Amino acid sequence: MSSHLIARIAWVVPALLLALSIHQVSTAVNLARTLDNGEQAIAEVTRYDRSDRKDVTHVELDLRVRLSDGTLFERTRLALPYSIGHRVEADSLAVTVLPGSSQEVVITVIGRTQVSIAWSNAAMSFVIFLMAFAGVFSWNRWLRKNS
């Protein structure tokens, strides 16, 4: 495979990083929208799984939420950042629900922290996107000049 072909294919890296940045911005906005516009409710924690192994750390839970109109929401396998998972070890949790949104259920006590984490992830991936873009752009330009 020639260097020119590899340099062209390398454009995939900054494209994926930009897509990740956009996704994290969307996540932050949707989490904040649910927190600001959603209905307050109490969720029953039907399963809480936390792994403290050095090689695999995660927090995952299942929730059952009954809204004021009687609607029942069940969400399974909700993954949470390990660093804040200890804040949701309970039999029931206050949640904010916005049916139909991409983030329908947000645990209220950690919601703003999750918004901050998503914004932070967006910023970090955007900075890395800029670095990757500069690198791939420079490499492609160098190859054009020296071929």
Separation between Cα atoms, residue 69 and residue 71, nearest integer Å = 6
pLDDT at residue 80, rounded to an integer: 87
pLDDT at residue 129, rounded to an integer: 98
pLDDT at residue 84, rounded to an integer: 86
Q: In what order do the strands lie in the sheet with 92-97?
A: 72-80, 57-66, 39-52, 92-97, 105-107
**1 has pLDDT over 80:** no
26-83 residue pLDDT tens: 999 999 999 999 999 999 999 999 888 888 888 999 999 999 999 898 999 998 888 8
pLDDT at residue 142, rounded to an integer: 95
The secondary structure element, H or E, covering residue 29 is helix 12-37
Q: Are residues 29 and 98 in contact, defined by beta-carbon separation less than 8 angstroms?
A: no
